[in-house]
Amino acid sequence: MLKSLHIKNMTVFQKAGFDLSPGLNVVVGENGSGKTHFLKTAYCILSCLSVNGPRLSADSPPNKTGLQTALAEKIIGVFRPESLGRTVHRGKGRERCQIDAFFEDSSHDISFSLASQSRSEVSLEKVPESWLQTDPVYIPTREILTLYPNLISLYEKKFLEFPQTYRDLCIHLGSPLERNNQGYQFKSLLSSLEKTMGGSIILDKNGRFYFKPAGQVQLEIPLVAEGIRKLAMLAQLVATGVIRPKGTAFWDEPDTSLNPRLVARVARFIMDLAQAGVQIFIATHSLFLLREIEILHSSKEYRNTPARFFALHFSRQGVQVQQGTSMDDLDPIAALDEELSQSDRFMELD
């Protein structure tokens, strides 16, 4: 599992360090403060270090040349810049971006850099000694079940503006179902999701997803509410074993398109994943979701679940990172203050 990530001169970050939890990691901040960029940077690294990483062989240890190519291609595919150097933080003159990732198992540690004038070249300074045994999964803000049919083949043949996270997620969604659902705890998670959705997800032989409400006929996935489709993606990823113990999941704004009742259920599901041994990263500026997570984390049921909270703030020195083991360790965040202020104004109405 990823233990810490240090970023220098990448996108909005001039210098940022993240000391991570093996369980839940929550990143909050205003729009444009780098929440998604942090998630994508970590995802690119883990994707390339996976035994199933792009164009690399699990039969031999990692090698410098292969990893440099894989990292460059992954960063371009995920961030979608015009050239690799465009991901470097813009300063005066030429700049160089430096990324250092440290793992609980130090044999996976990696360091690399790239220059602002680079079009497609990454320089690898520390080569990991071994591969990660699980694939990371990145869940974007919007659902993609409606895009699933033929997206992978179209993505490989044509230039699409979709970030590569969409293509990667489609591959995971189409994985064969796990035979034993990884034990009782994950069977329980799947049952809980299906109960929350009020049905189950089905992938037919023609590569199309359907939703089957309990006791009713199945529906084409575009006819299903978007919030339910987001939960259906999770159910499919659990059922296929893509989300698994000792694995890593990144979820960008999980509260999007969900009503408060479903957000509360999602908060519990997130805590259950962390408790089950999944390293999970979420980015949000939802006060409701944060409060639900705080309530759960302070309860007896989840009190011992490891968690870290990160707040991203704008400053003259660029985006600054605050971190701690609870939201109380962080300064107020403008995006959250607005929601609190609105609540105060509403209470003052006659």
Each residue's pLDDT tens digit, 249-276? 999 999 988 888 999 999 999 999 999 9
3-state DSSP assignment of residue 214: coil
How do 110-115 and 123-126 pair as beta strands? Answer: antiparallel
Q: How many domains does the chain have?
A: 1
Q: Is residue 219 part of a domain?
A: no
**Arithmetic mean of pLDDT, 329-340:** 68
Helices 260-275 and 287-297, axial angle in degrees (round to 10): 40
Q: Identify the band that residue 59 occupies on the pLDDT scale cut at 50, 70 and 90.
A: confident
- The whole domain housing 343 covers 1-20+32-134+302-350
Which pTM was predicted? 0.92
Which pLDDT does position 338 carry in this prediction?
Answer: 67
Q: What's the CA gap between 15 and 129, in Å, rounded?
A: 27
Q: Is residue 347 part of a domain?
A: yes
Q: Is residue 73 part of a domain?
A: yes
Q: Is residue 285 part of a domain?
A: no
Q: Is residue 350 part of a domain?
A: yes
Q: Is residue 102 part of a domain?
A: yes
- Count CB neighbours of 344 within 10 A: 9
Percent of the chain with pLDDT over 70: 91
User: In a 10 Å sphere around its CB, with 0-12 CB exposed, 13-18 middle and 19+ buried, how is residue 33 labelled?
Assistant: buried
Q: Is residue 333 part of a domain?
A: yes
Q: Is residue 124 part of a domain?
A: yes
**Arithmetic mean of pLDDT, 23-45:** 93
Residue with tokens 């985006």: 319
- Joined together, the tokens standing for residue 218 give 């199945």
Res. 38: pLDDT tops 80: yes
